[in-house]
Amino acid sequence: MEKLEFEVKFFLPDVQSLRQDILDLGARSRGRFFERNLRFEDTNKTLKGRKCLLRLRHDQKTTLTFKSTPPEGSNQFKVLKELEVEVGDFATMNNILESLGFHCEQVYEKWRETLIIENTQFCLDAMPYGNFLEIEGTQKDIKQYAQDLGLQWGKRILANYLEIFEILRKKLDLKFTDVTFDNFKGIEVDLKRYLHLIEADGQQV
């Protein structure tokens, strides 16, 4: 079933303090898991140009997701149409996609803890280049919880993690395209230097 997804991100300099604040609001943790994501492209690499994402994810389960941008976007939230299905076997699904003419264009990894309050989801994401909070829910609830947590709305991030990586790749002259923890070993990333390029009150991506 297709649904509209509303979300925003915030850069987190202090993960544990913010995590406790979320728990104090009544959230319950669903656990912290390592994610490995494969982003697929077609032969002519048109998906990214159409602002579409075809992703195969493996954490405690395997999920196939297709995301696309709705005709009417928003400058307040990241809005996407999402189709998602849980599949039984990562390797088999990968082979099916390749047999249909898709190929793995990019790999990205993260550690994610998901906390839930009713219909709002808080994801504490540890990326190879920094820590973030992603809030997903209704537009009203997202803004209210951001305010409750003392987060400045103007500092929300609407770019996705791969778009943020592209900014860092160019600024740091990185020679790799896969966003993995191994690739970032030994690389110091001071993300605060680049927040003006990704936050909503700066140059929005």
Q: Is the pLDDT of residue 113 over 90?
A: yes
Query: CATH assignment of 3-198?
Result: 2.40.320.10
pLDDT for 79 beyond 60: yes
- Give the tens place of pLDDT for each residue, 56-76: 999 999 999 999 998 777 889
Q: Which amino acid is at 43?
A: T
> pLDDT tens-digit profile of 2-51?
688 999 999 999 999 999 999 999 999 999 999 999 999 999 999 999 99
pTM, rounded to two decimals: 0.93
Residue 146: per-residue pLDDT? 98
Nearest to 141 by CA among 174, 119, 168: 119
Provide the residue count of the chain.
Answer: 205
Q: Which residues, in sequence order, are CB contacts of 193 under 8 Å at separation 6+?
A: none
How far, in Å, CA of 1 to CA of 26, rounded?
29
Identify the residue whose tokens are 């696309």.
68
Q: How confident is the model at residue 205 (pLDDT cuts 50, 70, 90)?
A: very low
Tokens of 89: 């076997």
pLDDT in tens, 131-182: 999 999 999 999 999 999 999 999 999 999 999 999 999 999 999 999 999 9
User: Can you list the alpha helix ranges (DSSP code H) found in 149-194?
Assistant: 161-172
User: Which residues have CB under 8 Å from 5's CB, separation 6+?
Assistant: 67, 78, 79, 80, 81, 82, 136
Tokens encoding 146? 């951001």
